[in-house]
Structures are given as structure tokens and as C-alpha cells.
Chains A and B, each alone.
Chain A
Amino acid sequence: MAKPFRPKIVSANDLLSGDVVYLDRAGTWTRRLDAAAVAETPGAAEDLLAVAATQPDQVVGPYLADVARPHAGSPPLPTHLRERIRDRGPSTRPDLGRQADLADDPGSLFAGDGI
């Protein structure tokens, strides 16, 4: 039986800085996961990836990553630890990565676990 489709976002690394970025609904790149465009169907996911592919000189290696939305319309959360670490920064260095700028508890590493 085919696996049920999980919502997806497009992530990549910024060409100049290497920062983790996400494709937003306007087709531009943001460093905020909660602003990423979420594809709820396989077709929508392919469309997002096609938009990313038109910008090869802004980002490197765009790919689809699974996310979860606990409630309809709520911001996406990563479902895999790897994506959680990419979003926030090294789990052993809360002073580095995007987590260093977040007001919430940097110790809550993996909010998406089990969702």
C-alpha cells in the first residue's frame, strides 16, 4: 500500500551565505520555516520544486522535506530531527544558528517529534 502523503516544504541553502532557507508562498526564499509554503498534495509539491528550480543562482540543492501541521493552517513543523537541526542550529551549540535569535527555549530541540 502506498504511504499516505505527508505535507511538504522546499528547503535549500542560500548560495552566498550557505544559510538554510525555505521557499515561501511568494516564490522567494526565507529563513523562517514558519513562513514556508506548504504543499498538501504531490502535485503541489512538484510545483513548489519547479519554482525553486527556476532560481539556481540564489540557492543550492533545493529538495522536498516532510513537515507536519498539528492543526489546519498552523505553521509547519519538521518531522525529522535532521530538519529540526537545520532549522534551529547545532543541538550542542544553542548560541549558533537561527536558534540563537529565537526567544523561545533553545532546549526544546525537537518539537515536531511524534507529530
Chain B
Amino acid sequence: MYRYDEFDADFVRDRVARFRSQVDRRISGALTEDEFKPLRLQNGVYLQLHAYMLRVAVPYGTLNSAQMRQLAMIAERWDKGYGHFTTRQNIQFNWPTLKDIPDILDALADVGMHCIQTSGNCIRNITADHFAGAADDEIDDPRPTAELLRQWSTDHPEFAYLPRKFKIAITGSPNDRAVTKAHDIGLRMVRNDAGEPGYEVIVGGGLGRTPMVGKVIRDFLPKGHLLPYVEAILRVYNLLGRRDNKYKARIKILVHEAGLEDIRAQVEADFAHQMAAEGGPMVAPDADEVARIAGYFTPPAWDDLPEEDAGYMAARAADPVFRAWTDVNLAAHRRPGYAIATISLKPIGAAPGDASAEQMRVIADLAETYGHDEIRVSHEQNVVLPHVRKRDLPAVHRRLREAGLATANVGLISDIIACPGMDYCALATARSIPIAQDIAQHFSDPDYARTIGEMKIKISGCINACGHHHVAHIGILGLDRAGRENYQITLGGDHTETLAIGERAGPGFDADQVVPAIERLVDAYLALRDGPEETFLMALRRLGIAPFKVALYKDGEHDRAA
């Protein structure tokens, strides 16, 4: 993985020193809150319901064991002993005090981490496929591109005050695990007819109060042209994006209102202007720099192994709990004898995405001992060990069980994305975590969950949609109706390469009616599906939303819904 050079390290230390001075001046009264707020937001410091919240960037969701251990140390020393992994592949601490935050930032800098551009109207943390460099369906590793974009976007002087925040995601696989079509810019690594590597560039996707599916602005962009092209998109957005209304300020609104063709023409004109500059585009990196970055992402020293391992197979045969975990939580690795292991941060009844300091240390130990020192954070709020020898999986699973981290539910009904909701977030209109906990408890029988099969439930506690409810098979949106929590249900969303926005089913439900509502939907699906191979989403697409709405509101249940 990428390691800071002297420039990176000095830059981060300088920012910490500057922020320490800003905090001192705020505490002394030399800075007002109005003056201080944009400064703290530029360093990832929010003020939530109960306390400050610090959002730490995890670039493209990649960590090593030393970084994970440092996060554990921070959780114990300056927070309440846990952290919350987010849908942006970041981690948030919910309880730091203002005066401690500069010390936390110094501790992060010790392991090459920071909180820069995790908030504010700037280019946010670049997200990527959490299976990057390991997946067997990968065309190209997206991490060097993500790192190039990280370096280009960090403190970019032209784009420090955009009309609104700006999110970029990249996938190197045709199976999109990075939700690229729901980002301001989505990049899909492809090859053209000549076999040359490049990108399909998608623009104007997003969730929030106005969900939009991203549109292809360039079918094929040669790899070396990425930065000038992305710079052209940002420049057009920076000039034309609305600044009079924050709810219409994202690039998705600009693309929607101006039209894709108009935006494309302006982007291409700016891009052509850059390409025609004497000496080439200013932002195009030279080959040495590209090679330097790529060098950090060479595959680990994998062993030459047979595809199957006798010990692993024997453990599967002997231990049904282990077998269930391997059936559900493993993904195919590109290398024979290896697997990608997802560690579910959705133990039944726990807050989705939360991990204790002790659990973080266990994950770090496992990565160091069995996983080539690599850890990934997924946008689905789980943690991934991307390179594990199959023969080591029984030992990994044993340790995970001891730590309460061996829940076999990845991709199943209890693997729920949930934002922090009104238990923490100052913007939320309803709670998310208790709804997720109730659903997970209700469907806690692992056999029943596997019978239901692939199911994506995602919960947002407000219209800003941090819980990605729009792209859930079953989406749940918490709202405030006259002081009471009320939950709208959407059906048929899809977060993959066939991204779709879910359709609102009808009137919302009181909190205690959400689980019965989900149960009616599941019962209807099991009754209507062609067979176990037909997932909930497939059945819904075949049958349409109507029979599911009938099930949801049958027997006058809608009369009880608000």
C-alpha cells in the first residue's frame, strides 16, 4: 500500500500544527465560532448531538495493521473505546473533546493518516472497490488511480471551495462494488478494442434528497488523460454549479438541468484546451511518478498454492459453523489457494459498523499474521482481509469467534447498512441503529437468513441518505412526522453496475411497525420467487413492485401506517 514520502509527511504535520494553533485561538476567544467552524470542518471535526465527532480518512478504504492498532489506541485513549466505520470507507470517533483533537491528529500522522477533506465543500476521500488487488474479476487495480486522485485533489487550490462536496469512486472490476453510478464522478476501469487500459467516466450520480443515476460522459478515456479530464469536469462544475441553494448545488443537479450534452461539450472543450497547452497538460503526471505510485501497489509475495487445501476442506466438513462462515463471508481471490475474507461488523443486535478497540486489535493481528498486513474498509461498513491463505482460514475464524467478529451474514438480510441516525447525528430526523438492530434480531436465525438469500437493507435517518437507502433492495428512510419517528420504505434499489433508485412503496410506518413490514415483504418474496436462485431483487424486477406493495399494506396495515 502507499506510504507517505517526506513531502506527504511534512504536509500532514504542518496541517496538524496549523490546526493546533487554530484550536488554541478558538479556546482563547481569538476566533469566533463562525470563524472557526470552516477551519474545523476542513480537518474533519463536526459537532454532533452529544459531542464533537472526528472523521478520519481511510484513503480508498485501505489500512495496514499499524494504522488499525493506532485507531484502537485513539479509541481507548481519547474516545469511548470504539469507532464507527462509515459508508465512505472512513472511521468516525463520536466523543473526542476539542482540546484533544490536535493530539489525535498527531497520533494519526504518526501512522500516515489524517482527517483532511473529510468534510466541507471539497473533493472528499476517494473511495474504491474494497476487493481491489485481490478480486478474481478485476480488469485492473483501481488503487494506483485512487492514490493519484488523492494526491491531485489534496489541497487543490482551485477546488477548495466548490459549490458543494464532491465524491469520486473507482472500480477496476465490471462487477461494481464501489457504487460508482451514485457518485459525482464514477470511474470504471475498462480496456478498449486495442486492449489499452482506460476509464469509462460517469458523472452526475448521487443520493441525498434528489437521487440520480450517474451518466456516461466519456465511454473511453485513455489512462494517461485522467487528471486533465477530471480537472475539466471539476472546472466546469466549479464555474456553473449553483451556489445560491445548497440543495441544488451538487453536480448531479447541474448535469440534470443543463443536460449531459451541454456539460460534455464544455468539459471536452476545457480538456482539449489543456491538452493543447505547450508542454502538455499541467496536471498530467509524468511516467516516473505514475510508476512510483504503482510500485506501492504491487501484489504481495503470494505463495504458489493449489486451489484447494486439505486442511481447509477438512475443517469445513467437520465444523458447520466454520462452513457457514466460509459459504457466506468469503469471496473468490485471483490467486489459487487464497480467499478474500469479509469480517462482518454486523453482529446480531450490534450497531452496524461499530468496532471496539479490542476488536480493531484482533483485526490488526490477523492481518499481520495471516493477511499480508492488508485491511480494507468496505462501504457496506464491514472490514475485509483481502489476501488470506485458505489453509489459514480455520485459525482466522477461531480468533474472530473469540472476538465476536465471526457473524456469517455478509450480503444477507442482517448485513444492514445504517447511518448513525438520531442517536448521534445532528441532521437526523429519526433513529437508524435501533431499526437495524430490531431487523437483525428478528431475522437472526442463520438458516432462515440463508433461505432468504441475498438481501440489501439500508437505513438512513434523514433525507441526506448517508445510509444509501435509495439503492437498497429494501430501503428505509427515517423521517419526523409531527414529532414522531416515521419510516418510509422503498423497493427495488440496486447499488451495483445495474444501479437503480428504489421506488417509494407508500405511506410510512411507525418504528414498531417496521419489522412486521419487512417480514411481510420477505414472506411475499418467498411465496412468489421462482426458486432459491431468484433473489429478492430478481423477483421484484420480474414481477414489478405491485405484489410487494399489496403484501406490505395488506389487511389494513396501511391504516396503522402514518
Contacts and interface: CB of A to CB of B under 8 A. Distances in A.
Same assembly: yes
B433 A80 contact: no
Given A15-B98, A16-B99, A90 B485 contact: no
Contact of B52 (A18, A79, A80): A18
A81 B480 CA distance: 10
A86 B49 contact: yes
Contacts of A93: 351, 423
A80 B386 CA distance: 45
B22 to A, nearest CB: 13
Contact of B50 (A61, A90, A92): A90
Contact of A61 (B47, B423, B483): B47
A36 interface: no
Interface stretch (B27-35, B192-200, B220-228, B273-281): B27-35
A16 B24 CA distance: 11
A61 B51 CA distance: 12
B26 A15 contact: yes
Given A16-B99, A18-B50, A86-B50, A61 B424 contact: no
B483 A79 contact: yes
B70 interface: no
A19 B50 contact: yes
B424 A90 contact: yes
Contact of A82 (B26, B29, B33, B422): B422
Given A16-B97, A19-B51, A81-B483, A92 B32 contact: no
A85 B424 CA distance: 9
Contacts of A85: 49, 422-423, 431
Contact of A92 (B26, B27, B28, B351): B351
Contacts of B51: 13, 17-19
A81 B422 contact: yes
Interface string A42-56: 000000000000001
A90 B432 CA distance: 11
Interface residues of chain A: helix, strand, loop or mixed (majority): loop
A33 interface: no
Residue from B50, B80, B96, B437 having most chain A Cβ neighbours under 10 A? B50
Contacts of A79: 483
B285 interface: no
Contacts of A89: 50
Contacts of A80: 483
Given A15-B26, A18-B52, A61 B422 contact: no
A16 B134 CA distance: 44
Interface in A58-73: 60-61
Contacts of A96: 50, 80, 95
A92 B351 CA distance: 8
Interface string A9-33: 0000101111110000000000000
B437 A92 contact: yes
B30 to A, nearest CB: 9
B112 interface: no
A57 interface: yes
A97 interface: yes
Nearest to A82: B422
B98 A92 contact: no
A60 B49 contact: no
Given A60-B33, A90-B423, A97-B50, A17 B437 contact: no
Contacts of A18: 47-48, 50-52, 95-98
A3 to B, nearest CB: 12
B220 to A, nearest CB: 47
A61 B33 contact: yes
Interface string B467-482: 0000000000000000
Residue from B48, B49, B485 having most chain A Cβ neighbours under 10 A? B49
Given A15-B27, A60-B33, A90-B424, A82 B49 contact: yes
Nearest to B28: A57
B434 interface: yes
Contact of A20 (B49, B97, B483): B49
B485 A60 contact: no
Contacts of B99: 16
Contact of A13 (B29, B32, B47, B434): B47
Given A16-B27, A57-B29, A92 B423 contact: yes
A82 B428 CA distance: 9
A58 B47 CA distance: 14
Interface in B415-446: 422-424, 431, 433-434, 437
A79 B483 CA distance: 8
Contacts of A60: 33, 47
B33 A56 contact: yes
Nearest to B429: A82
Contacts of B33: 56, 60-61
Contacts of B26: 15
A89 B423 CA distance: 7
Contacts of B28: 57
A85 B437 CA distance: 18
B72 to A, nearest CB: 18
A91 B27 contact: no
Nearest to B350: A92
Residue from A16, A19, A56, A79 having most chain B Cβ neighbours under 10 A? A16
Interface of A: 13, 15-20, 56-57, 60-61, 79-82, 85-86, 89-93, 96-97
Given A15-B98, A60-B33, A82-B49, 14 more contacts: A17-B51, A18-B96, A18-B97, A20-B50, A56-B29, A57-B27, A57-B28, A60-B47, A61-B33, A82-B422, A89-B50, A90-B423, A91-B431, A96-B50
* 3 shortest interchain CB distances as A-B pairs: A18-B51, A90-B423, A57-B29
22 contacts: A13-B51, A15-B26, A16-B27, A16-B98, A16-B99, A17-B98, A18-B47, A18-B48, A18-B97, A20-B49, A56-B29, A57-B29, A82-B49, A91-B423, A91-B434, A92-B351, A92-B423, A92-B433, A92-B437, A93-B423, A96-B95, A97-B50
